[in-house]
A and B are shown apart, each in its own frame.
Chain A
Amino acid sequence: MRNKVFLKVVLITLSILLSNGIFAQKLITGRVISASNGQPLGGVNVVAKGTTIGVMTDGDGSYKINVPSEVAYLDFSFIGYLPKSIPINDRTSIDVILEENVQMLSEVVVVGYGEQSRSIMTTSVSKLDTKVLEHAPRTNVGTALQGTIAGLRVTTTSGQPGQTPQILLRGGTDWSGGSAPLVIVDGVVSSLYGLNSEDIESIDVLKDAAATAIYGARSANGVILISTKKGKVQKSEINYSYKYGRNYMRETYEYLNARDYIYYNRLGLMNYKATTGKTNFDGFATSPSIGWGTGGNMINSVFTTQRVTSENRQYLNDPEWQWMIDPINPNDTILFQDRDLSKLIYQDSYLSDHHISFSGGNDKGLYSLGLGYIYDQGIVLGSELKRFTANLNSSYKLSNKLSVNSIFNFTHSSPKYPYLTDDEGSYNQIFERAAGFAPTARIYNSDGSLNPWVNTSIGNPLYYKDKFLRKSLEQRITGGVNLDYEILPGFNLTLKGNLFAVHLNRESFNKSYYSGGSLNTARIASASYSRSLTQQYNVLLNYKNTFGANHHLNLLLGGEYYDYYSFYMYAATKNSPTDLIYTMNAGSEASGVPTSSTTATRILSILGRITYDFNTRYLVNINFRYDGSSKLPENKWGFFPGISLGWNLHNESFFKNSLLSRYVNNFKPRVSYGVNGNVDNLSDFGAFGGYALTGIYNNEKGYYNNALPLLNLKWESSVTFDVGVDLGLFENRINLIADYFIRDIKDKLASYNLPFETGFSSITTNNGVLRNKGFELEMKANVINKGVRWDIGATFYTVKNYVVKLPDNGLERNRQGGTQIFDPKSGKVVWVGGLQEGKRVGLDEVYAHKMEYVYPDDAAVAEHATRVDMYYPSNARTVRFPGDAAWLDIDKNDTIDYRDRIFVGRTTPSAMGGFTSSLSWKNISLFIRTDYAIGHLIHSYIRVRGITQVQGSQNSTTEVLESWTPENRYTDVPRFDLTDPRYNHGAIHQPRQNSRYWEKGDYLCLREVTLSYNLPSTILKEYIKNLKIYVTGSNLKYFTKYSGPAPEQGGIDIGRYPVPRVYTFGLDVTF
């Protein structure tokens, strides 16, 4: 059998060599152009039908071919175009127009180190519909992937302009559900941050290991391949686009007004006293430091709340002031002001985005230059982004055999983060504390100056907004050169060198400011600088040929060297004489100790790929990569292969003749298996063990062992098995791509929790086997195509993570972590959550107590007179009061303790996806995009902190109005007690949580609606090729039941920067 194949190959080779001169020949010349734009097409395969004789068109689309006289047809084929077979009919000149194949199932897909038509692809790769990039303004390209790529979970975690969303492929390869895909821009390992979406030609996402194996190390989480725009032959163009948008805040919590705030908090104090017997908060009622305490004054106290006395009695009729009877002491009257503070943190906000591009080329060279400038003012005080981008792609043919390509990308961005925050970190001081501050607080003092409130962490946004100067400047430069040399016909050698440099400069200065009543004049000025350089060099050898008429073979062999080095430094001074100079030179002494540090990592690789198809019917793809990483001490090398097979059933004659072919015109089942390596979870030198620096002690620093050497660590490998099908129905009016995958992450590099007695709470180890199992579906359909064209698209994706294997640690199911609850089914106390062999990964599981009802009155309380509650004070565990929560006693032992918790749900979504609709009629089109995620729970700390009043002065949402009072006994909101000492509500840091505060985060987001109009060419003068105007609404609405403004991310919401609603006007003109 093997001999036969060998013989065949030899014969084919011979026939190629001998083909010249044996038969009668005829020379045919011609040109191939594209139907869509009339441009010549280079690289088109021209084959004399039924022979092995073939040539390619050159840069201006011309070809010359000698064909034997008996050949009747010429076959023209080109990636992304419908193939054509043209009868020769004695002609010697044949010009051909190829039509673009716009269907999803035959689109051109960028794969590792090359591109492929989907029609012969066997792996799981998704391509972004670039319509998404056309209109809506975006400061980060990652947001375009939301709901548009099945298998990606994209979560916008912040409305900060420029912020990269959280992106996760197929459930993530971490136990905790983390790890971001590798981003490659024009062949260079890079990132999404700073890319201008106008410069982007295409985005492809490699999902299964057979596709990503060629990227080996770090590709286990998928690869996002981004290509920027290239010039086109004989098509010189200047394009200018402009977008102007207004940003609007989202609807947020409804807080109590001052009257209700004072009333309920004073009631809460009485409830606290009555239920705990403690008097330690009594002072709060008259305190000047508490929003509902009556210690305020008329001049400059933080809170306006005060008792009516002879001195302030005249304000009772002042419209600026309100009064009420003190619920604690009905003989007293309280005077106060009511201010809505929740919107002080926002600012009027807009964005403007300019982009101009120049592109063109001839048969020798191509170029494309894009220049962009964007300004996006965030909706929160102090936040903004200014960014300049330049992107240049050029290529030149030095000779018939040698061509050179270069890429250059430059991003200069200066983001500013909301006042009080240095970066995209914790927002709770803004969204939880400042926005939810006591409505009785004073914004302006009587002399017109701003009242700073308590201190920086509970501060007046208007006062603090300009106190902390933060500047940051980031420059990213990508440069690369690519030499392509045709050694022999079919053999191409490519040498690549790429650099990716990031320079980040931060400066900060604290002006003098009031905090806690004293003036802080430290005036700390600091600057930090970090730079990183990624170098990547490749040698690639490519061999491409067609044997016989039907054997298409493509071989790739290459090597890669990857080197990353980064440097960081920081210094600070203090005691500057004025607020006017923000740089360190004005400081008179050092603040802290200056520091600098470096880190580095390297990867060496050998890679290869074999693509073969027979007559575009049987498809085979083999990938491999051999990687060595500097992060691993001993087992540096790993081998990662991938193989995939596909079968274009629709090309089989039996299928064509079958009845099915009337409805199904594209049917390609495919299967793939592949292995990826991953060492991302290891820090650069994390496996080598070492001694870390201590704090400074008496002007000295010490070293102590904080990491053990982990010499026997090995590559984490993820093995993906993927079965999929590409379906085209009803003349490809409906296209479907579906995939089912099982991905086993073996030797998972993860931290393993140790007994504390070892001196380490955890170490990194090859910790078990994690499995992702899921299903993906992408669908595109043309619903109407008669004058009006209506296309719809949908993606759906679901994934679950399982624990397959864990290191043997002597515990049942080799459990790691977790918690114990009573399981009513087995009647036993069981371990749940954490990691347990054979179960789903439980790290995102939520367990909390279930409140059955609120005790309405003493009679109801008496029913549980013997019930012990372990969360109550140890001397009064059976004492409860009307208004307390009645907890579900799962084990029926009349004791409420940790065992009586229920499984509430998970913090990660179970399914997500999106829908698009594109409707066009003549020159008008309407585009709608939505995305959704379901199944994740969110604990809103803002809501819970308000209703537990653990801070003391914080405002609460209006939910408090429904809480139990003697007048409002039948309710599902427990009594409002100061600090919630009985954990009826349970803030996340308290010992007991109430499941009612874990809300469903399910949402459907109306992400984009665009109405656009192309001016008819009859109106345009000849020097304007195209003019389009449009209006877009972005992030218009979340359809969700979640109480907060940002439902996308599960888990604890301590205050999030919500994405703004944006209304944009846009203009796009091409000359």
Chain B
Amino acid sequence: MKRKLIYLLIIVVTVLTSCEKILELKPESSLGYGSFWNSEDGAKAAQVALHANLRNYYSNLWYLGEIRSDIWGGNTIETCFDLEVIQQDISTTKVPSFAQNWAGFYTYLHLVNDIIKNVPDVPFTNEKNKNYLLGQAYGIRAFIYYTMLRTWGDVPIVLEPTTKIDFDNLYIPRSPVSEVMKQIKGDIEKSLEYFGDDNTFLNNKRIYWSKAATLTLKGDVYIWSGTHMNGGNEDYITATQSLQSVINQTSTFQLLPKFADVFSYTNKNNKEIIFALSYEIDQASNIFGNFTARKNDILNLYTRDGGTTTNIVVNGGNRNGPSTELLTKWNDFDDTRNDATFIRLYKNPNGTNYVASLLRKFWGTVNLGSQVMADDVPIYRFADVILLMAEAKNLLGEDPSYYINLIRQRAYGNKFPGHEYVNGTKEQNIAVILDERLYEFIAEGKRWWDLRRAGDNWVFANNKYLNPATDAYKLLYPLTRDMLGRNPLLTQTPGYED
């Protein structure tokens, strides 16, 4: 009897264990959690994701860097977007969508941190490739935190990927801006360390983060900390050194002779690009559809020189228009950047009765009768380095006119004579550099950062909607109630408390 029971028990146990096996299903179409970081292939897939997912944030990066400046808010054919933000109507009630939930950056940082944590343990056939990937990851992390610092000031610092949810340690407070800056500078150094002397581009394409991108970022960051965080000359010198090492790569980086060629669909990956995000037909479209128009809305309008719109193929929306102030201020059409940036449209062929403008940058190509927004969009390009250099030199009390004139020469081409810039006072130089950057980088997500980097007074001087006496707190963004509600350790950005 006992023996029978034991047999029975054995049978039951065998059946149950085989049952367990039956229930062990493996996914066929997705990667499991445990197996990902075992191979170089996995790390390479993460390297693609590092860039592919950064592209998802381009819209937020762009809005944070430009929409609140003096460029937009003018006439549009359809109801315009973003008017409230442009007019600085920002409060805890009206947090623009691109600034909600930390602009989603922590989701992206999880990916970056995952790479930084795991890649060192992945066996690579060539150690150089591993270091290159880590150089990219640290560089991009610095770039993201720099964007966050400029947006919110104090932000929580998260350096590890989340691997499990621990309800006891769920909440992280905002770190002071000085800590954040320290972290950014540390990441920049780590990035440069990993890149070593490798100045190449991954796959020979400038759509991947590179050492030059980190160097440019470093210039950008140190000018900021020099101005805003009492870094002074020491930081400006660091900035010029970093920027100079990009300028020194004369065979890799050049200003293209024609401004429009920088943005030409057929001229991607050109020598002016330091780091751009990739957009291709059937892969992804950039965000500039709403800066064009629908074809039938522009049919009976005329361009500046009285031409018709017959040959312009667009099928986006007209939701963002250049501000009246910008159009009035920038009526110099010897500057080739002007027509290469906007197509101004008028009701009358003689150039009167202005209606709206189309943004000429980044509008891709025509594919099967419709416009495809498949232009790469630069995050950093060489003109940026030149003008950052001008900024740093000027802040150091040196003459920046050489760098300003490099840009102007390209902008005016054979009409350059008469537009040469001669060194002025520090303040005059700043104003000129800011203008030069404005005309150079319209729609490149720079202007708000440029004004901010120059100093708060420059923001107020260039923005009629911001009053320095009452709106100083608005230079940073508020947190939404949802963000505060999810994390009791978060405090509201000063000035926005209600």
Residues of A within 8 A of B (CB): 278, 280-281, 283, 287-289, 295, 302, 454-455, 512, 515-523, 561, 574-575, 590-593, 596-602, 604, 628-630, 636, 684-685, 688-705, 707-709, 752-761, 763, 765, 807-811, 815, 817-820, 831, 870-871, 873-875, 897-898, 950-952, 979, 991
For the complex, give the distance between the alpha carbons of A752 and B165 in Å.
Answer: 10
A628's nearest neighbour on chain B, judged by CB, is B23
For the complex, give the distance between the alpha carbons of A295 and B300 in Å.
Answer: 10
Partner of B49, one of A455, A704, A761: A704
Do residues B167 and A575 form an inter-chain contact, with CB atoms below 8 A?
no
Shortest distance between the CB of B166 and any CB in chain A (Å) = 10
B residues within 8 A CB of A289?
Answer: 77-78, 294, 296-297
Q: Which of B188-196, B226-234, B276-284, B423-431 contacts A (4 or more CB under 8 A)?
A: B276-284
Q: Does B390 contact A (CB under 8 A)?
A: no
B residues within 8 A CB of A897?
Answer: 93, 498
Q: Does B356 contact A (CB under 8 A)?
A: yes
A residues within 8 A CB of B488?
Answer: 810-811
B residues within 8 A CB of A521?
Answer: 368-370
B95's nearest neighbour on chain A, judged by CB, is A991
Q: Which 7 A-B pairs have the closest CB atoms?
A: A517-B296, A759-B110, A702-B48, A517-B295, A702-B49, A689-B33, A516-B294
The number of chain B residues with a CB under 8 A from chain A is 100
A809's nearest neighbour on chain B, judged by CB, is B167
Shortest distance between the CB of B465 and any CB in chain A (Å) = 8
Q: Does B197 contact A (CB under 8 A)?
A: no
Q: Which of B3-11, B24-32, B249-257, B450-458 contacts A (4 or more CB under 8 A)?
A: B24-32
B residues within 8 A CB of A629?
Answer: 23
For the complex, give the distance between the alpha carbons of A753 and B101 in Å.
Answer: 12
B residues within 8 A CB of A522?
Answer: 367-370
B residues within 8 A CB of A698?
Answer: 48, 51, 203, 205, 207, 278, 280, 283
Do residues B355 and A283 form an inter-chain contact, with CB atoms below 8 A?
yes
For the complex, give the distance between the alpha carbons of A693 and B107 in Å.
Answer: 15
Do residues B32 and A870 form an inter-chain contact, with CB atoms below 8 A?
no
Do residues A599 and B27 form an inter-chain contact, with CB atoms below 8 A?
yes
Assess A708 versus B487: contact at CB under 8 Å? Given A287-B77, A630-B24, A691-B31.
no
For the complex, give the distance between the alpha carbons of A694 and B278 in Å.
Answer: 14
Do residues A520 and B93 form an inter-chain contact, with CB atoms below 8 A?
no
Do residues A763 and B165 form an inter-chain contact, with CB atoms below 8 A?
yes
Partner of A288, one of B205, B284, B297: B297
Do residues A702 and B110 form an inter-chain contact, with CB atoms below 8 A?
no
Do residues A636 and B20 form an inter-chain contact, with CB atoms below 8 A?
yes
Do residues A952 and B79 form an inter-chain contact, with CB atoms below 8 A?
yes
For the complex, give the distance between the alpha carbons of A591 and B28 in Å.
Answer: 25
Q: Does B87 contact A (CB under 8 A)?
A: yes
* Cβ contacts B299-321/A at 8 Å (1 or 0 each): 11000000000000111000000
A697's nearest neighbour on chain B, judged by CB, is B52
A residues within 8 A CB of B481?
Answer: 819-820, 898
Q: Does B135 contact A (CB under 8 A)?
A: no
For the complex, give the distance between the alpha carbons of A512 and B370 in Å.
Answer: 11
A596's nearest neighbour on chain B, judged by CB, is B29
Do residues B163 and A630 form an inter-chain contact, with CB atoms below 8 A?
no
Count chain A CB atoms within 10 A of each CB in B30, B56, B465 and give the residue with the most: B30
Do residues A519 and B46 form an inter-chain contact, with CB atoms below 8 A?
no
For the complex, give the distance between the alpha carbons of A831 and B488 in Å.
Answer: 13
Q: Does B378 contact A (CB under 8 A)?
A: no
Q: Does B422 contact A (CB under 8 A)?
A: no
> Which residues of chain B from 41 to 77 have any CB-CB distance to chain A below 8 Å in the complex?
42, 45-53, 55-56, 73-77
Do residues A599 and B29 form an inter-chain contact, with CB atoms below 8 A?
yes
Do residues B25 and A753 form an inter-chain contact, with CB atoms below 8 A?
no
For the complex, give the distance between the alpha carbons of A810 and B355 in Å.
Answer: 56
For the complex, give the distance between the alpha carbons of A831 and B481 in Å.
Answer: 11
Do residues B53 and A575 form an inter-chain contact, with CB atoms below 8 A?
no
B residues within 8 A CB of A811?
Answer: 488
Partner of B106, one of A689, A690, A696, A759: A759
Shortest distance between the CB of B28 and any CB in chain A (Å) = 5
B residues within 8 A CB of A628?
Answer: 19-20, 23
Do residues A753 and B486 form an inter-chain contact, with CB atoms below 8 A?
yes
Q: Does B382 contact A (CB under 8 A)?
A: no
A632's nearest neighbour on chain B, judged by CB, is B23
A residues within 8 A CB of B52?
Answer: 694-697, 700-702
Do residues B50 and A705 form an inter-chain contact, with CB atoms below 8 A?
no
Do residues B483 and A756 form an inter-chain contact, with CB atoms below 8 A?
yes
Shortest distance between the CB of A608 and any CB in chain B (Å) = 16
Do residues A516 and B296 form an inter-chain contact, with CB atoms below 8 A?
yes
Do residues A283 and B111 form an inter-chain contact, with CB atoms below 8 A?
no
Q: Would you mind naming 10 contact pairs between A and B with Cβ atoms under 8 Å apart?
A: A598-B28, A601-B25, A604-B23, A685-B27, A690-B32, A698-B280, A705-B111, A754-B170, A759-B109, A952-B78
Q: Does B122 contact A (CB under 8 A)?
A: no
A residues within 8 A CB of B42?
Answer: 703
* Cβ contacts B123-137/A at 8 Å (1 or 0 each): 000000000000000
A residues within 8 A CB of B161?
Answer: 705, 759
Do residues A280 and B76 form an inter-chain contact, with CB atoms below 8 A?
yes
B45's nearest neighbour on chain A, judged by CB, is A703
Q: Does B402 contact A (CB under 8 A)?
A: no
Do residues B51 and A697 form an inter-chain contact, with CB atoms below 8 A?
yes
Partner of A702, one of B46, B156, B471: B46
B residues within 8 A CB of A283?
Answer: 75, 77, 355-356
A residues within 8 A CB of B104?
Answer: 756
Shortest distance between the CB of B94 and any CB in chain A (Å) = 6
A residues within 8 A CB of B51?
Answer: 697-698, 702
Shortest distance between the CB of A433 and any CB in chain B (Å) = 14
For the complex, give the distance between the alpha carbons of A233 and B165 in Å.
Answer: 63
> Which residues of chain B from 443 to 487 have any CB-CB distance to chain A below 8 Å in the complex?
465, 467, 471, 481, 483, 485-487
Do residues B50 and A702 form an inter-chain contact, with CB atoms below 8 A?
yes
For the complex, give the distance between the alpha carbons of A179 and B294 in Å.
Answer: 43
Shortest distance between the CB of A166 and any CB in chain B (Å) = 28
Count chain B CB atoms within 10 A of each CB in A599, A705, A708, A757 and give the residue with the most: A757
Partner of B170, one of A455, A758, A870: A758
Q: Does B90 contact A (CB under 8 A)?
A: yes
Do residues B110 and A760 form an inter-chain contact, with CB atoms below 8 A?
yes
B108's nearest neighbour on chain A, judged by CB, is A759
Shortest distance between the CB of B151 and any CB in chain A (Å) = 14
Do residues A597 and B53 form an inter-chain contact, with CB atoms below 8 A?
no
For the complex, give the distance between the alpha carbons of A650 and B304 in Å.
Answer: 95
For the complex, give the distance between the alpha carbons of A755 and B166 in Å.
Answer: 12
B366's nearest neighbour on chain A, judged by CB, is A518
Shortest distance between the CB of B225 and any CB in chain A (Å) = 24
Do residues B25 and A704 form an inter-chain contact, with CB atoms below 8 A?
no
Shortest distance between the CB of B267 and any CB in chain A (Å) = 16
* Cβ contacts B109-150/A at 8 Å (1 or 0 each): 111011000000000000000000000000000000000000
Do residues B101 and A756 form an inter-chain contact, with CB atoms below 8 A?
yes
Shortest distance between the CB of A638 and any CB in chain B (Å) = 12
A807's nearest neighbour on chain B, judged by CB, is B167
Do residues A979 and B79 form an inter-chain contact, with CB atoms below 8 A?
yes
A residues within 8 A CB of B111?
Answer: 704-705, 759
B residues within 8 A CB of A752?
Answer: 165
For the complex, give the distance between the alpha carbons of A761 and B33 in Å.
Answer: 19
Count chain B CB atoms within 10 A of each CB in A523, A596, A705 and give the residue with the most: A705
Partner of A874, one of B56, B76, B91, B296: B91
Do residues B205 and A898 form an inter-chain contact, with CB atoms below 8 A?
no
A residues within 8 A CB of B368?
Answer: 520-523, 574-575
A residues within 8 A CB of B27?
Answer: 599, 684-685, 688, 690
Do residues B79 and A755 form an inter-chain contact, with CB atoms below 8 A?
no
Do residues A874 and B90 form an inter-chain contact, with CB atoms below 8 A?
yes
For the complex, give the distance between the alpha carbons of A648 and B467 in Å.
Answer: 82
For the complex, give the distance between the alpha carbons of A636 and B23 in Å.
Answer: 8
For the complex, give the distance between the alpha carbons of A454 and B381 in Å.
Answer: 38
B residues within 8 A CB of A278?
Answer: 83
Do residues A688 and B87 form an inter-chain contact, with CB atoms below 8 A?
no
B residues within 8 A CB of A695?
Answer: 52, 55-56, 283-284
Shortest distance between the CB of A180 and any CB in chain B (Å) = 23
Partner of B486, one of A593, A755, A875: A755
